[in-house]
Amino acid sequence: MKKFALGLLCGILVLSACDEDPCVAPDLADNIVDRWLVPVNGDTLSVVFKPDGLLVDDNDALIAGSVTDSTGINEKTYIVASDMREIYLNSTTGAELTQATYLVLESGCDAITLNRDGLSVELIRE
């Protein structure tokens, strides 16, 4: 009976000591591919980083240029720097090109913290 009680106690201790493994975020280039919420001036806007490098940012949360010109052409793209410390955004409307560079301060499983011109921007996974 003592062996059973001791075995049961050990089993309980082992099970209670095992928490879920903490999330380990993948490389930024993989981690950023998803739908994110971006708090901007009291609003929460949505952006999508697609696997092919396209950025859906219809409300200009991260980069301006959602208004198309008479050609109807508007495209936003992103590139993650090879050292994973910067994200380069481009917005092309007709012949006009707008660019923005964000420094990556932190890349976690459910949030990515960026900085542009001294201002922090947090991306929160939807």
C-alpha of 75 from chain center = 20
Identify whether 121 is part of a domain: yes
Identify whether 8 is part of a domain: no
CATH number at residue 90: 2.40.128.370
Within a 13 Å sphere around the CA of 34, how many CA atoms are in the beta-carbon half?
17
Range(s) of the domain holding residue 60: 23-125
- Predicted confidence pLDDT, tens digits, the chain (126 residues): 556 555 555 555 555 555 565 888 889 999 999 999 999 999 999 999 999 999 999 999 999 877 655 666 679 999 999 999 999 999 988 778 899 999 999 999 999 999 999 999 999 999
pTM: 0.78
Identify whether 40 is part of a domain: yes
Q: Please count the structural domains in the chain.
A: 1
Identify whether 7 is part of a domain: no
Identify whether 10 is part of a domain: no
Identify whether 64 is part of a domain: yes
Identify whether 3 is part of a domain: no
